Amino acid sequence: MDATQLLKGVLDVAVLAVVETEDGYGYDVVRRLRGAGLTDVGDASVYGTLRRLYSAGALTSYVVPSEEGPHRKYYGITDQGRGVLKAQREQWRAFAATMNNLLSGVAA
Amino acid sequence: MNMELINKTAEYAAAVRQALSDLPAEEVEDLTEGLEADLAESWDESDGKPTIEAHAYANELRIAAGLPAAGKPAGFFERQQKSTQERIAAWASSIRKNPAGAWLLDFLVSLRPAWWVLRGYLAFWLIVEAWVVAPLVPTSIVPLLILIACVGGSVWLGAGTQKPFLRWLTIAGNVLAAFVFLLVLTEAAQSGDTVYYESDAETVEGLALNGHEVTNIFAYDANGALIHQVQLFDQDGKPLVTSVPGGNGCLTWVLDPVNANFNEECDTPGVWLPQTLETGAPAWNIFPMQMAESEYEGDREAKPGAVAMDVKPPFVKVPALTPVASGDSADSDQGTKPGNKDEKNTKESEVKSE
């Protein structure tokens, strides 16, 4: 099974969860996702997702000037984003439970 | 942060932006803001090299951001239209940043209905002007109806929402209307001819007659024969000089073969020459003034070896005065009728010369 295909469906909720813990800039989010075990996640996929969640109002963004090098664009979660995350978290749990049951042969 | 690495990522970042260039500029900027810094950090952990091609990277970015994958590149006209619209929008928003600019834009926008009416009038003018040879009139109501139709149509076009092809038609019409407007203005300026002459008259130096330069004077004696050399002075004893003492003139004129109605072209350019007084001083008040052939370019220089020539007088001979007036016994005739008439003539000419 291709992990990247699986990832596509859950990247939104994964990114929201990471940012909920602590605000982060693009590559920082990538690093934390990878650190959490999503080693195959692509940089550009994460940046694109951040951008899309921002457009949808789930994230807020602000620029932090850097004394050396370019400015960093940080993303933080909004109330709307928390709502989305809550809903998707429950959705995921239900889905994961269904899949776990299905795959362990306990399905009704 | 590794500045050297950031510089290295710039080229890659530019390629990514290029691959996204079919998107609106604002979108591209949002998507790739801080890209160099992110890339540098990423490459720092992967041997300082990109892991995928810029094009693939851009596509991943695009898909993750929920934008359609790169389709076929936009056609030339689409790109032109899009970039033109973007440039106009950017230009307008940069003007709006300034309060005076915003006010001006709003003001111009509020003037649009006036432009629609003017545009309609110009269309009317164009129609009437084009048909003016075969007059519109059976009745004078026809032009009025055309005017109403033109203005109404123009306002309808401006105020209504339009189909795309109508919009292109409107743009073309606007350009035409602006051109016609210039034509109308030019025509209006030309109809105010008197203004031109008045301003000319102020700039003429030396003698002028009703605003026109007097370049030479031909005196005829009482018998109507041309006087070949006459010195002229004004009422204060100043030498009477013509408009262009020493300036360029024309030695011989030819009729313009193309425009034969009074349009003459200069065949041989000439330069006016003064006479010399017995004191050795040059005199510009001896008439008719003579001329020598010159070059067009050489401003006040006669051609080498050119000789002073008489200029063709307007009349070979003019009517002589009545015999009584030309009598040399003016003293003895004093008080008689003809003498009075003579005096009257002088007065008249004095009045004229003022």
* pLDDT value at A87 more than 90: yes
* Neighboring chain B residues of A44 at a CB cutoff of 8 Å: 52, 57-58, 60-61, 64
Provide the pLDDT for residue B247. Answer: 55
| Cut 0.80: pTM above it | no
Interface test with A, best of B4, B9, B33, B53 (most A CBs within 10 A): B33
Q: Does B109 touch chain A (CB under 8 A)?
A: no
* pLDDT value at B159 more than 70: yes
* Neighboring chain A residues of B57 at a CB cutoff of 8 Å: 43-44
Provide the pLDDT for residue A93. Answer: 93
Of A11-25, B210-224, B286-300, B323-337, where does the model show the most confidence? A11-25
What is the percent of chain B where pLDDT is above 70? 67
* Neighboring chain B residues of A49 at a CB cutoff of 8 Å: 64-65
Q: Can you tell me the distance from the alpha carbon of B6 to that of B271, in angstroms, rounded to the nearest whole number?
A: 75
- Do B61 and A44 make contact, defined as CB atoms within 8 angstroms? yes
- Do B42 and A43 make contact, defined as CB atoms within 8 angstroms? yes
Mean pLDDT check: name the lowest of B126-135, B194-203, B258-267.
Answer: B194-203
Q: Can you tell me the distance from the alpha carbon of B188 to that of B192, in angstroms, rounded to the nearest whole number?
A: 7
* Neighboring chain A residues of B5 at a CB cutoff of 8 Å: none
* pLDDT value at A19 more than 90: yes
Provide the pLDDT for residue B339. Answer: 44
Q: Identify the band that residue A105 occupies on the pLDDT scale cut at 50, 70 and 90.
A: confident
C-alpha torsion angle, residues A22, A25, A26, A28 (rounded to 10): -60
Closest residue in A to B13 (Cα) is A44
Residues 6+ apart with CB under 8 A from B16: B32, B35, B54, B57, B58, B61
* pLDDT value at B198 more than 50: no
**How buried is B61 (Cβ within 10 angstroms: 0-12 exposed, 13-18 middle, 19+ buried)?**
buried
- Average pLDDT on A50-55 reads 88
Provide the pLDDT for residue A33. Answer: 92
Q: Can you tell me the distance from the alpha carbon of B47 to that of B38, in angstroms, rounded to the nearest whole number?
A: 15
**Between chain A and chain B, how many beta carbons pairs sit less than 8 Å apart?**
77
* Neighboring chain B residues of A43 at a CB cutoff of 8 Å: 38-39, 42, 51, 57
* Neighboring chain A residues of B9 at a CB cutoff of 8 Å: none
* Neighboring chain A residues of B39 at a CB cutoff of 8 Å: 43
Q: Identify the band that residue B128 occupies on the pLDDT scale cut at 50, 70 and 90.
A: confident
- Do A68 and B62 make contact, defined as CB atoms within 8 angstroms? no
* pLDDT value at A86 more than 90: yes
Q: What are phi and psi of B208, to 5 degrees?
A: -140, 145
Provide the pLDDT for residue B330. Answer: 45
* pLDDT value at A14 more than 90: yes
Interface test with B, best of A27, A30, A49, A61 (most B CBs within 10 A): A27
Residues 6+ apart with CB under 8 A from A7: A14, A38, A40, A41, A45
Structure tokens at B33: 């803001």
Q: Can you tell me the distance from the alpha carbon of B323 to that of B231, in angstroms, rounded to the nearest whole number?
A: 25
Structure tokens at B265: 């072209």
Q: Does B33 touch chain A (CB under 8 A)?
A: yes
- Do B42 and A44 make contact, defined as CB atoms within 8 angstroms? no
Residue range B35-49, pLDDT digits in tens: 888 888 888 777 777
Q: Identify the band that residue B297 occupies on the pLDDT scale cut at 50, 70 and 90.
A: low
- Do A45 and B35 make contact, defined as CB atoms within 8 angstroms? no
- Average pLDDT on B98-118 reads 86
- Average pLDDT on B271-275 reads 80
* pLDDT value at A16 more than 90: yes
Task: Compute CA distances B106 → B94, B97, B114, B202, whole Å.
Answer: 14, 13, 14, 44
Secondary structure in 3-state letters for B273-335? ECEECCCCCEECCEECCEEEEECCCCCCCECCCCCCECCCCCCCECCCCCCCCCCCCCCCCCC
Provide the pLDDT for residue A78. Answer: 92
- Do A48 and B65 make contact, defined as CB atoms within 8 angstroms? yes
Structure tokens at A81: 């984003």
Between B21 and A82, the higher pLDDT residue = A82
Of B33, B37, B42, the CB nearest to A69: B37
Q: Identify the band that residue A18 occupies on the pLDDT scale cut at 50, 70 and 90.
A: very high
Q: Does B232 touch chain A (CB under 8 A)?
A: no
